[in-house]
Amino acid sequence: MKDYFALIFTGGKSLIVGMMITLRELFRPVVTVQYPREKLPLSPNYRGHTILIRDEEKPEKHRCISCKMCERECPSNCIDLAGEKREGVKGMVLIKYRLDFTKCSLCGTCVEVCPPNALDFSKVYQHVGFSREDFHYDLLAMVEEDK
Amino acid sequence: MTTMAEKGEHRYILNMGPQHPSTHGVLRVILEMEGEYVMDPQPVLGYGHRMHEKMAESRPWPNFLPNAARMDYLSALIYNHGYVGVVERLAGIEATPRAEYIRVITSELNRLQSHLLWLGVLVLDLGAFTPIMYTFEDREKILDILEDVTGSRLTYCYMRVGGVVRDIDDKFVERTREYISWQRSRMPMYDKLVTGNIIFRKRIEKIGEFNPDMARRYGLTGPVLRGTGIPYDIRRAEPYSVYPEFDFEIPTETTGDCMAAYLVRVREIEQSLRILEQALDKLPAGPAMAKVPKKLKLPAGDACYAVESPRGELVYHLTGDGSDTPYRMKIRVPSFSNLSLLPELCRGMLLSDLCACMGSLDLVIPEIDR
């Protein structure tokens, strides 16, 4: 009988202690963010989908030399690029760079292997689309649009 | 007129899952019930099978790096660590000392976030909603720290053979130290809010008890095993990386019930914080990436590498044949063994206690199916 009341007492006390903790939480600053209206600052090292970056010396151009290292090393085979030889231009000219983002796992292998460091991660994290094809990004068009 | 009970028709089958919040993934458990009592639980696996081992055998070894994170999404960095560890051991490469420290620091942060998520969802499974909000607040801090250095929040692909992708900076060290003191200040609160709660205690004390003998029979590892009093932790039993240099305890309990597994995990949080502190103090300078041949071929032979994941012993076994594609890859995951205990452990148990049991086993289904 004594044990029974002791249990009720300790049990009741533990519940009150718990309630006090939740009550105290009411007066602490809010930690949640009202997402679509408010956004948290994104880390500068965040990995979004890959993009072609511009040459610092010649800002009108990207650095890609169409060596296809990224295409070969990609674990998910999500890169499709092509280059062609043009008269009067040294090296290959990139004519197509498509990234199938539905397959990409953002491992960063392409960025690491790229000999001229032509690739980088973007900061895009909101991807919306109605079909798979919406996520087949044309990186060459993106870098040219960006001029 | 005979009742259904007399005819023996009172037993019925209840499907728990494949989509059930308390199974934490696509696990189906076929429950043969008698009223509220579970007479025969049978787990059905394979809903999330993606043939990770076969994928490893059919492509060059670097292509498996992102896969490692997809097996156990809660301890992706520890899975990364195991994979680069086994390749390094087979190819005879050594990571730089700084890289080994960074691996330990990020692995321990990963372990902490896994334990915090487990703490929240265990209590959530038992019907208390509040603690998960607090644990997620803490967990968010870890994810922010890890995002800053690895670039992602859950499925990290951070470690490479010979080192890590990006070196950590002073900001990372400072934020981690801040986090350590924050987490220390939160633990008494969890102690009062969760451990001391009478309802919580009644739900998990003396539930799902098993002895060391049964644990050995099923090959249990991790906090579940340590809850029966066996201090088996890979970080001590088969030390890897730079773990021998740190001073930490292996928490054990003796009762072997859900409460024991709970207490072991909560005390492990403190031990992980201790390892983090020491690792940050001892962090050596130097490069974070060793010189590794560009086209690394796996030599013929076997290598085995075991790491301690938050759920137990994780072993990678890799066989090379001289090419760059592994000949055979076998992954021993802790959750698979821990789950095989379920039919014997939960026979004759109340349905609500089964949820508590599964919660305390801390199952991650994609790693079982892999």
User: Across the interface, do B147 and A46 touch by the CB < 8 Å criterion?
Assistant: yes
Q: What is the pLDDT of residue A147?
A: 53
What pTM did the predictor assign? Answer: 0.88
The predicted model gives B213-217 an average pLDDT of 87
Q: How confident is the model at residue A49 (pLDDT cuts 50, 70, 90)?
A: confident
> Tens digit of pLDDT for each residue in A101-143?
888 888 888 888 888 888 888 888 888 889 888 888 888 877 7
> Tens digit of pLDDT for each residue in A81-102?
888 888 777 778 788 888 888 8
Residue with the bigger pLDDT between A115 and A57: it is: A115
- Name the minimum distance, in Å, from the CA of A11 to any CA of chain B: 5
Query: Best interface-test mutation with A: which of B77, B193, B292, B294 has the largest number of A CBs within 10 A?
Result: B193
Residues in Cβ contact with B170 at an 8 Å cutoff, skipping those fewer than 6 apart: none
pLDDT score of A17 more than 50: yes
The predicted model gives B297-309 an average pLDDT of 88
The predicted model gives A46-67 an average pLDDT of 80
> Tens digit of pLDDT for each residue in B236-283?
888 888 888 888 888 888 888 888 889 999 999 999 999 999 999 988
Residue with the bigger pLDDT between A57 and B76: it is: B76
pLDDT score of B4 more than 70: no
- Name the minimum distance, in Å, from the CA of A86 to any CA of chain B: 31
pLDDT score of B24 more than 80: no
HSE-CB at A99 with a 13 A cutoff on CA atoms is 21
Q: What is the pLDDT of residue B106?
A: 92
| Mean predicted lDDT score pLDDT of chain A | 84
- Token couple for B228: 């029966």
- Token couple for A70: 């990224």
Q: Does A106 touch chain B (CB under 8 A)?
A: yes
Q: Which of B63, B148, B192 sits opposite A43 (nearest CB)?
A: B148
SS3 per residue for A100-140: ECCCCCCCCHHHHHCCCCCEEECCCCCCCCCCHHHHEEEHH
CA distance B172 to B166: 12
Q: What is the pLDDT of residue B7?
A: 52
The predicted model gives B34-63 an average pLDDT of 86
Q: Which residues of B touch A (CB under 8 A)?
A: 59, 62-67, 70, 130, 134, 137, 140, 144, 147-152, 155, 157, 165-166, 189, 192-193, 196-199
User: Across the interface, do A22 and B130 touch by the CB < 8 Å criterion?
Assistant: yes
Q: How confident is the model at residue B343 (pLDDT cuts 50, 70, 90)?
A: confident
- Closest chain B residue to A103, measured at CA: B66
pLDDT score of B221 more than 70: yes
The predicted model gives B327-342 an average pLDDT of 89
Q: What is the pLDDT of residue B8?
A: 57
Q: How confident is the model at residue B1 (pLDDT cuts 50, 70, 90)?
A: very low
CB B231 within 8 A of CB B250: yes
Residue located via tokens 């983002």: A101
Q: What is the pLDDT of residue B94?
A: 86
Q: What is the pLDDT of residue B321?
A: 87
> Tens digit of pLDDT for each residue in B194-209?
888 888 888 888 888 8
Q: What is the pLDDT of residue B2?
A: 47
CA distances (Å), A6 to each of A30, B70, B193, B200, B221, in order?
A: 38, 49, 20, 17, 37
B52 CB neighbours in chain A (<8 A) are none
CA B217 vs. chain centroid, Å, equals 20
Annotated binding site of A for [4Fe-4S] cluster: 64, 67, 70, 74, 104, 107, 110, 114
DSSP B163-194: EESS---HHHHHHHHHHHHHHHHHHHHHIIII
Q: Does A108 touch chain B (CB under 8 A)?
A: yes
Which residues 4-63 of A have a C-beta within 8 angstroms of B? Answer: 7, 10-12, 14-15, 17-18, 21-22, 25, 31, 43, 45-47
Strand partners, A121: A50
User: Across the interface, do B198 and A14 touch by the CB < 8 Å criterion?
Assistant: yes
The predicted model gives B134-144 an average pLDDT of 90
CB B183 within 8 A of CB B112: yes
% of chain B exceeding 90 in pLDDT:
14
Q: Which of B70, B140, B193 sits opposite A18 (nearest CB)?
A: B193
User: Across the interface, do A75 and B64 touch by the CB < 8 Å criterion?
Assistant: yes
- Name the minimum distance, in Å, from the CA of A124 to any CA of chain B: 12
Q: How confident is the model at residue B72 (pLDDT cuts 50, 70, 90)?
A: confident
**Is the ipTM above a cut-off of 0.90?**
no
The predicted model gives A72-83 an average pLDDT of 86
Residue located via tokens 């590794």: B292
User: Across the interface, do B148 and A106 touch by the CB < 8 Å criterion?
Assistant: no
Q: Which of A12, A47, A112 sits opposite B152 (nearest CB)?
A: A47
CB B52 within 8 A of CB B366: no
| Mean predicted lDDT score pLDDT of chain B | 86
